[in-house]
Homo-oligomer: A and B are copies of this chain.
Amino acid sequence: MDHNLLLTSIRKYVQLDEEEENLLVSYLHHRRLKRRQHLLAEGDVCTKITFVISGCLRSYAIDSNGAEHVLQFAPSGWWIGDMFSMLTGEPARLNVDALEESEVVFILKPDFESLTTRLPKFAHFRRMLAENAVGTYQYRQIDNLTLSAIERYKKFCNTYPSLIRTLPQKQVASYIGVTPEFLSRMLNNTMIN
């Protein structure tokens, strides 16, 4: 099976022995997604946490005009889900879907919880993941408050160079919080420097 990416990803934080890794793997569900296929829809309760093996997913929300706004991209090796919904059991505000043909594994919430209580090392891993995410979201929030659209775009390019080559401009525009038209203009006019 293709759980190697997940296991090596976890090994960067904690060393599970073989038995523990087997327990973890026994909880995994495998799934293929086609382009535009949804893994979570706004209004549903988020009952799983997903790890991307290949392809690329995104989480996004829809505003009152029907426009999509991307919160996060999850290329291979990343986790994705609606954390608030999963913690509280309330309906999700986020949608999660695939931007291209993708392969994911996911763990259902009850299994995730029992893994956490049975394997202290997994609990540790989970904490590291969450605290890292807090740091990242704090800084992203700051970027959005302090940087102009062009600067946000440049920062995105520096932070996720591989995504720039794969993603449609439209999606990047949505992530940095501008319209596709405006990003296009920025790249053609203003970027002469």
Contact = CB atoms under 8 A, between A and B. Distances in A.
A141 B137 contact: yes
Given A145-B61, A146-B61, A135 B69 contact: no
> Majority SS of interface residues in chain A?
helix
Tell me the number of copies of this protein: 2
A74 to B, nearest CB: 13
A136 interface: yes
A138 B69 contact: no
Interface stretch (A15-23, A30-38, A125-133, A183-191): A125-133
A134 B135 contact: no
Contacts of A155: none
Contacts of A177: 144-145
Contacts of A127: 123, 126-127, 130
Interface in A42-89: 59, 61-64, 69, 71-72, 82-88
Contacts of A93: 139, 142
A172 interface: no
22 contacts: A61-B145, A62-B146, A69-B145, A71-B141, A71-B142, A82-B138, A83-B131, A83-B138, A84-B135, A84-B136, A84-B139, A88-B135, A94-B138, A133-B134, A133-B137, A134-B134, A134-B137, A137-B137, A140-B141, A141-B141, A141-B144, A144-B144
